[in-house]
Amino acid sequence: MADKGNDPAVIWQTMIGEMEKGFNTFANQAMTSPEFSRVMNQVGGVSAGVQKQLAELMEKYLTSMNLPSRAQMVGIGERLQNIERQLSEITALLRQNNIGGSPGEPLTPRPPRTKQPPSSGGGAA
């Protein structure tokens, strides 16, 4: 077997471990500095501004293509949910007042069938 001091895998693992320790130390020192915080705040502000401009541009593009924007689709979805909720409430009230039966039955009851079909003998008995 190879000696642990000469094993390439052990040497590689030790080298990677030392590099990670050094990078972590450097990153921790960099993140505690006020310059790093200032730069990160500026980057965040620029990113938010770009995102806002992109959203406005996308909305203008969708409007020019005569397509709804995300906000409009969300509004339509909310209105549709309200309509469905109101229909459910109306249906429940109708069922509660015995106006309608089960979902397959019509809301108004049908009149009773009193008329009988003519007999096959051809006349009255």
Residues 62 and 27 in one domain: yes
Same domain, yes or no: 13 and 54: yes
State whether 56 and 72 are in the same domain: no
Q: What total of structural domains would you count in the chain?
A: 2
The reply to whether 81 and 61 lie within a common domain is no
Same domain, 13 and 51: yes
User: What is the reported pLDDT for 41?
Assistant: 86
Structure tokens at 106: 């019509």
**Per-residue pLDDT tens over the stretch 23-35:** 999 888 888 888 8
Task: Give the residue-averaged pLDDT of 98-105.
Answer: 59
Q: What's the chain's length in residues?
A: 125
30 and 36 Cβ atoms separated by less than 8 Å: yes
- The verdict on 56 and 88 lying in the same domain is no
pLDDT per position as a tens digit, 9-59? 889 999 999 999 999 998 888 888 888 888 888 888 888 899 999 989 998
pTM as predicted? 0.40
How far apart (Å, rounded) are the C-alpha atoms in residues 115 and 125?
A: 17
DSSP letter for each residue of 12-23:
HHHHHHHHHHHH
Mean pLDDT value across the chain: 84
Axis crossing angle, helix 8-32 with helix 34-64, rounded to the nearest 10: 90
- Alpha-carbon distance 108 to 100, whole Å? 6
In this structure, are 61 and 76 located in the same domain? no
- Report the pLDDT value the prediction gives residue 66, as an integer from 0 to 100: 92
Q: For residue 105, tell me if it sits in a domain.
A: no
Say yes or no: 26 and 40 in one domain. yes
